[in-house]
Amino acid sequence: KNQVEQSPQSLIILEGKNCTLQCNYTVSPFSNLRWYKQDTGRGPVSLTIMTFSENTKSNGRYTATLDADTKQSSLHITASQLSDSASYICVVSRDRGSTLGRLYFGRGTQLTVWP
């Protein structure tokens, strides 16, 4: 069964601290893995996209890692800010030839940053 599991379910950290969110998946065959940020009441916004050949990708204070062998990914947030408070969603795409195909979503990690 194609699944995406995220941990922790929720996380509270103090402003300025770092944190790491985890994603494990069983989607096969694997095409790419994406991390999205979803603010309350808004649609998800893309942070990173990684294929199986990419181990790490950064977007400002966000750094995603991927281990395609163990089917694990992490999202590291550095020097957190209040605006980082959101749900972070891991999304895995199954290989369907040359097209985007269907995406499998994790339930997200709800991050709260306190001042």
Contact between 73 and another protein per CB under 8 A: no
User: By CB under 8 A, how many residues form the interface with another protein?
Assistant: 25
Beta strands in the chain (DSSP E): 4-7, 10-14, 19-25, 30-38, 45-51, 56-59, 62-67, 72-77, 86-94, 103-105, 109-114
Binding residue for another protein, selected from 11, 72, 74, 95, defined by CB under 8 A? 95
Residue type, 35: W
Q: Which region, judged by CB under 8 A, interacts with another protein, from 20-28, 30-38, 55-63, 66-74?
A: 30-38
Contact between 63 and another protein per CB under 8 A: no
Distance CA 24, CA 55 (A): 15
> Nearest approach, Cβ of 58 to another protein (angstroms)?
16
Binding site for another protein (CB under 8 A): 31-32, 34, 41-46, 49, 51, 89, 93, 95, 98-108
